[in-house]
Amino acid sequence: MSDYWFDQKAAGLAVRFFERLLRHTKGEWAGEGFQLQAWQKKIVEEVFGWKREDGTRKYRRVYIEIPRKNGKSTLSAGLALYLLFADNEPGAEVYSAAADREQASIVFEQAKQMVIGSPALARFAKPYRRAIVVEETMSSYKVLSSDAPTKHGLNAHGVIFDELHAQANRELWDVLTTSQG
């Protein structure tokens, strides 16, 4: 007997979140609903569908490499928003990180525009310059600087770490991954 099982309902919920609530914010699809391409749908289903015997997700850390100009930031923004809004985690702390705050802001800004463009999500969230706050669940999605020593008090539910290869060292990675308990 396997230690893992696939929860089709959970996988479907995550896919529907993207396709019903999120809109593209840039380029030729700006304003259109986020219809996941087959490879994107597979990632979302795998991440949120596979469970352990106790019902928790199998995958705690996911590493995805996507070539430039293939929607990495858009997909990452959607993943961050799912963790913020739909992952059933009161007080969820979701973060965007990168080698510098400007890079970390790329995914966050797309997520913020997705929230503003979604009446269903905008009802529950307050977007700020560097944070999206869902007061009802006391959850937030924030942009981080790359200053690792100031991140030791975080309790991350999710981290979108953009351009990991550009990190000068692994200090920020270590601080953020250990903040996930």
The reported pLDDT for the residue numbered 167 is 66
Specify the pLDDT at position 168: 65
DSSP codes of every residue in 144-172: --S-GGGGTT---SEEEE--GGG-SSSHH
Rg (CA), the chain: 16
Q: What is the pLDDT along the chain (181 residues), one digit of tens a residue?
A: 579 999 999 999 999 999 999 998 888 888 888 999 999 999 999 999 999 999 999 998 888 888 887 788 899 999 999 999 999 899 999 988 887 788 888 999 999 999 999 999 999 999 999 999 999 999 999 998 766 565 666 767 888 887 666 666 666 666 767 666 6
> In degrees to the nearest 10, what's the CA dihedral of 27, 159, 150, 91?
110
Supply the pLDDT for residue 29.
Answer: 83
Half-sphere exposure of 131 (CA within 13 A, CB side): 9
Q: How many CB atoms lie within 10 A of CB 79?
A: 24
What's the pTM? 0.90
Residue 113 has what pLDDT? 95
Buried b (16+ CB within 10 A) or exposed e, 40-69: bbebbbebbbbbeeeeebbeeeeeeeeeee
CB 97 within 8 A of CB 104: yes
- pLDDT value at position 162? 74
pLDDT at 80: 96
3-state secondary structure of 142: strand
Token pair, residue 147, equals 């200053």
